Amino acid sequence: MPDASRQPEPFTLSTDPAALEDLRARLRATRWPDAPADAGWSLGTDLDYLRELVAYWADGFDWPAQEAALARFPHFRATLGGLGIHFVHARAAAPAGTALPLVLSHGWPDSFWRYAKVLPLLTDPGAHGADPADAFDVVVPDMPGYGYSDHPAGAPLDSVAVAGLWAELMDVLGYRAFGAAGGDIGSHVSRYLALDHPDRVVAVHRTDAGVPVLPEDPGQLTDEERAWFDGVAGWGAAEGAYAAMHRTKPQTAAFGLTDSPAGLAAWIVEKLRAWSDCDGDVERVYTKDEILTNVTLYWLTGTIGSSMRMYAANGALPRAQLTRRVEVPSGFSLFPGDIARPPRAWLDRTANVAYVNEPARGGHFAAFEEPELYAEELRTFFRPFRSRG
C-alpha cells in the first residue's frame, strides 16, 4: 500500500500571464548575431531558421493551449530527499492490479515532455489497436532541476542519486516491483535503478548504452567495439562541445540562456535537429508548436542551468560505478537516427541482454519522434516479465 505519510499532492500547471508578456517582449527585442553567408547549420543553429521560429514564438505560439494539452495528464508533486519532485502518474485502462508499473526517465534537453505522445499508447493499448494485456501504469518524473521539479540548492544530483529517488517514489506509490526505461541521461538513471535495486526492477529497457568507458584491458575488445569507440570519439570531437560546457562550466552558459529566450531556443533546437531522424529538416519530425512547448517549459521553469549541472555531477562519478554490469534482464531498442548505436558485443559485455531490436525509424527522442514504434518496443520487451511486476 502507498505510504500514507508521504502521499503525493495533485499539481496544476499554470502560468502567470505576466511571464508570457515578458517572454514576448524579450523575443521581440532579440539582438541577432551575424552569420557567414550560406552557413546554414554548419556552425550551429541556422540564423534564418531561428528568426522564423522566434517570430512565431512571439506572435503565433499559443502556450495556454499547449499547457492545457499537457494538463490532461494526471500531475503530482511529492517530497523525496528533501526535494519537491513533479511527476505524471497515468494509470492503465486495464483492470486495477493487472498492469505492469513502469517508470520512464527522460534526458536532456527535455523533461516529462519526451513521453507526452506515448503515454496514451502505453496506458491504453487496446484503444490504439494493440493488446489490452500490454497496459502499463506509467510514472514519468521530472528529474531534479528539470521541468516542474525543484532545483537542488547545493550540489547537483548525479544519476545514481536520481535512481534512488525514483525507487523511493515507486515505493511511495505502492509499487514494490516495476519496470524501468529511458534514454540519454534517462538511460543512465534506468541503469542505476537496475544496478542498485535488482530486487525491485523486473527488467530495464534503454535506447542507448551511454558513453562507453574503456575496460581496464582494451585488448579484450572486438574489432566492432573498437570501431564503435573510434566513432564515439569522432562524434565527441565534432558535436560534443555542448557536453564539455555542461560538464565543466555550466553556470557560465546559464547566464545567457536564462536571460535570452532566443539563445535558449538556439541551444535546444540545434540538438533536436542533430539528434533526431529528420535528414536535417527538424520540422519533418516536430511541429513548431512541439519544439516551442519543450523550449517554453525550460524558459518558464528557469531550468536550463540546473539541468546542465547534472552533466557536471555525472562527470564526477567514479569509474567503478560506470563499469558495473547490469544483471537485471535488459532490452535495447537502437533507433537508426540516434547518436551512437553500440554493437551487440558491447551490450553483452555491459548487460544481461534479453532483447535487442533496430526499429525502422526514429532517433534520440524516439518516444516523441515515433511514439507508436517506441510503444511497441516496450510492449514486446516487457511482455515476458509482467508476471514479476
* pLDDT tens for each residue of 131-180: 999 999 999 999 999 999 999 999 999 999 999 999 999 999 999 999 99
364 is catalytic: yes
Query: In whole angstroms, what is the distance from residue 133 CA to residue 386 CA?
Result: 10
| Rounded mean pLDDT, 310-322 | 96
Q: Cis omega (within 30 of 0) on the bond before 109?
A: yes
Instruction: Write the pLDDT tens digit of every residue in 179-197.
Output: 999 999 999 999 999 999 9
Into how many domains does the chain fold?
1
Mean model confidence pLDDT for the chain: 96
pTM: 0.96
What is the Cα 306 distance to its own chain's centre? 15
Catalytically annotated residue among 89, 242, 364, 374: 364
* pLDDT value of residue 389: 59
- Cβ count near 379 (within 10 Å): 19
Above pLDDT 90, what percent of the chain? 94
Closest CA to 377 of 361, 111, 387, 194: 361
* pLDDT value of residue 340: 86
Domain assignment of residue 265, given as a range:
4-388
| Rounded mean pLDDT, 216-245 | 93
* pLDDT value of residue 96: 66
Count of residues for the chain?
389
205 is catalytic: no
The C-alpha angle with vertex 354 and arms to 97 and 214, in degrees rounded to 5, equals: 125
Catalytically annotated residue among 148, 192, 311, 374: 311
Judged against a pLDDT cut of 80, whether residue 6 lies above it is answered with no
Instruction: Write the pLDDT tens digit of every residue in 24-57.
Output: 999 999 999 999 999 999 999 999 999 999 999 9
- End-to-end, the C-alpha distance of the chain in Å comes to 15
| Rounded mean pLDDT, 215-240 | 93
* pLDDT value of residue 185: 97
Judged against a pLDDT cut of 90, whether residue 388 lies above it is answered with no
311 is catalytic: yes
Catalytically annotated residue among 110, 142, 158, 184: 184
Domain holding 64: CATH number?
3.40.50.1820
Backbone angles phi, psi at 360, to 5 degrees: -75, -25
Cell matching residue 234: 569522432
* pLDDT value of residue 216: 84
CA atoms within 13 A on the CB side of 86: 20
Confidence of residue 387 (pLDDT cuts 50, 70, 90): confident
